[in-house]
Structure 1
Amino acid sequence: MKSLSQFKDILDPIDRTSEILFGLLMSMTILGTLSIANAGQQDVRMVLLSVLGCNLAWGLVDGVMYLVRTLTTRTHNIHLVKSVQQVDKYKGQQLLKEALSEELAPLVGDEEVESMRQRLLTTSVSELRTLRVDDYMAAFLIFLLVSLTTIPLALPFVFITDLPLAMQIYRLIALGMLFGCGLAFARYAGHTHPLRVGIAMSILGSILTLVIIALGG
């Protein structure tokens, strides 16, 4: 049984924060269309159900697409291993160089590439798996992150009958969550001013929400 810390390590910090941000923006987009002047309790309930349904649906889609991306990448890597094993030394090195990212390629010399090639020659392709248990757990975690983002934003509407007050508290919670996402990005990147990034993310997220609403999203 995996511990909570091991479960969190399935997705890197950028992936976790991005999924939370994705669910947050979707929730804000729907809740942002709620009219304080005209909305009744039934309208609020319908909007909350819409937010929950939307995030559940997109959480499911996002989790499944994570598996599709992972499967495609792993299949490509297995094909690369087979190709390297079937060609001569120089062609194998060329294949590995082409597989390196633009950022990594200039940092890897011929000796490192040859070392990788030698390791791949002894790699058993039959032992390489396209999807593992951790991948399914990661997909489930993505589903949870997108879906459960709705809950903090919905709480004010559940416990507060005064709609204008609930809207104000919801906006504060949304800004706080956007700020937290920006803070997480900044800390991961080693930014010297994480608070500024948090504030910038709060502003950017609010603008994106308004643009999405204006475009009919």
Structure 2
Amino acid sequence: MLTTSLDPQAAEARPRLLDTVDRVCEMCFGLFMALTFVGAVSAVGAPADASRTMFYTALGCNLAWGLADAVMYLVRTLTERGRRLSLVKAVRNAGDPADAIGRLREALSPALRTLVDDAQLEAMRGHIAQHADLPVRPALAPQDLLAAAGIFLLVVLATFPVALPFILFSDVPTALLVSRVLTILMLFGAGIALGRSAGFGGWMAGVVMTLVGIALTMAIIALGG
């Protein structure tokens, strides 16, 4: 989607590091990763050190995936910023105004293409043509590094509500019960947050998210995840 700012780097400078959808999705990602290990624990016949081993294995996995997810966020941000910078330069350097308008229209999402007419795109093209202060190349800002750190922390912290009961409770069935209750509560809360952000009913979205999360976790475990 095309932003109205001509500076591809300044366009994303905002006080909030990650929006609601980003935060909830990253939390759910870490939750699902931890659940794959918890789902492999049996309440009957589990070795004495199974709980502690599972906890540290789940934590190590989420540390690794949190790091990978944070790095890929930076790669994705830099790539998208470079794509927008290339578009702005191409529009500014286009010899034919019709070609520049066509490039701008292609950059719009399908939903916006029907809402924006050529006169509005021409006004944007003229503004771009007069704008000379553009970065030479795309770059990351401190805000991006903070957002990546936030992603890493969300993925890692999602491990604890699911796996920590196995450290706190020596009885495996009790730990499993507490872990599953906390998991359901987290999925329900994630669904409410997403539902409210999308304008849906919060409670219904919470129920749907819980059911989807449980089904997805079962599928991940069944596939060997």
TM-score over 0.5 (shorter chain): yes
Alignment map for 1:193-204 (pairs within 5 Å): 193-204=201-212
Cross-structure match for 2:45:
38
Q: Deviations for 1:100-143, whole angstroms, at most 9, x for unmatched residues?
A: 11111111111221122122223322277431111111111100
Q: Which residue of the partner structure matches residue 14 of structure 1?
A: 21
Number of residue pairs matched? 211
Q: 1:85 aligns with which of 86, 92, 104?
A: 92
Query: Aligned residue for 1:188?
Result: 197
Between the aligned partners of 2:122 and 2:223, the Cα distance in structure 1 is: 52
For residue 140 of structure 2, the aligned residue among 125, 131, 139 is 131
Say if 2:86 is the partner of 1:76: no
1:174 and 2:183 correspond: yes
Tell me if 1:57 matches 2:64: yes
Structure 1: which 5+ runs fail to align?
A: 1-5
- TM-score (ref. length: structure 1): 0.92
Structure 2: 5+ residue stretches without partners: 1-12
Q: What SS does structure 1 have at the residue aligned with 2:17? A: coil
Name the residue aligned to 2:167: 158
Does 2:118 correspond to 1:115?
no
Residues 36 and 221, structure 2, Cα contact 8 Å, conserved in 1? yes
Structure 1 match to 2:7 = none
Q: Equivalent of 2:222, from 205, 214, 217?
A: 214
Partner SS state of residue 110, structure 2: coil
TM-score (norm 2): 0.89
Kindly indicate whether residue 110 of structure 2 is the aligned counterpart of residue 102 of structure 1. Answer: yes
Task: Report the CA distance between 1:7 and its aligned residue.
Answer: 9.3
Which residue does 1:3 correspond to in 2? none
Q: Which residue of 2 aligns with 1:147?
A: 156
Q: 2:30 aligns with which of 23, 27, 30?
A: 23
**Counterpart amino acid of residue 221 in structure 2:** I
One-letter amino acid of the structure 1 residue matched with residue 103 of structure 2 = L
Distance 1:69 1:182 in 2: 26
Task: Give 1:151 deviation, angstroms.
Answer: 1.2
CA RMSD of aligned residues (A): 1.7
Q: Which one has a larger percent helix, Structure 1 or Structure 2?
A: 1
Distance change (3 Å), C-alpha of 1:10 and 1:114: same
Q: Percent identity?
A: 43
Assess if the C-alpha contact under 8 Å between 2:62 and 2:156 holds in 1: yes
Measure the CA separation in 2 of the matches of 1:8 and 1:183: 23
